Amino acid sequence: MGTKSTKTSTVYGNTTTSNPYAYAHTDNGGTQAGFQNGTALQSVYDFVNKNINSVLNDYLTPNLNSVTNQAKLNSFSNSLNQQTRNQFENNIINPLSKRNMIRSSQATDMYNNLNNQNLAALSSYINDLISNSQNDSGKMLSNLLATYMLGANYLTSMQGQSLQTSAGNATRSVSGADDTASTIVPLLIKTILTN
């Protein structure tokens, strides 16, 4: 009068799914996915992992020493110096010198005044640069994380595809055991106790 209990076990098919950008491998131990070496997705993933802390630090504590701010400052400074020097020499010094209307001490004073104006413009630019730095860093963080998540979602899709393929290739086995003893033993104990 025993009943049979059955146990179903599934062995997933050893499956590898790949394309030029990523791969996923599934077996009974689980699924592992990754980017193909040398792909843009791998490069972005590595870059974000390597640099996210410094960008986050630039966002939290804006400073002039960030790579972006230094590049902007150097560009502004070089452009300012070149433009003002050219305008000053072409529009003031050269015409006055040709007419012998300027002494060297006057030219020196004019250069000093120009230098002070440039320093004031540079100082103003630095203040604006620092105040806008957090906004720029925030945009960079947003762009990096959005690109990073495209790759993460791509890997999730590869894992799903690999799991689905592996489940289709799975083998299932059913094993049964006669559990007559598990039915009879409680009856025997009940009979003994009631007598």
**Tell me, what's the pLDDT at 163?**
83
54-56-58-62 Cα dihedral, nearest 10 degrees:
-160
User: How far apart are the C-alpha atoms of 161 and 155, rounded to whole Å?
Assistant: 10
**pLDDT given for residue 191 in this prediction:** 57
137-154 confidence digits (pLDDT tens)? 899 899 999 999 999 999
Strands 15-18, 22-27: parallel, antiparallel or unpaired by DSSP?
antiparallel
Q: Which pLDDT tens digit goes with each residue over 99-112?
A: 677 666 777 777 78
Q: For tokens 């105040």, name the residue.
A: 131
Say what the pLDDT of residue 82 is: 84
> Which H or E element spans position 51?
helix 40-60
Distances (CA, A) of 151 to 19, 42, 47, 50, 156: 14, 8, 12, 15, 9
Tokens of 105: 């001490």
Q: Give the residues of the chain that fall short of pLDDT 70.
A: 1-10, 12, 91, 93-94, 98-99, 102-104, 170, 172-195
How much is the pLDDT for 187? 55
Separation CA 56–CA 148 (nearest Å): 15
The reply to whether the predicted model has a pTM over 0.75 is: no
- Quickly tell me which residue has 């979602």 as its tokens: 153
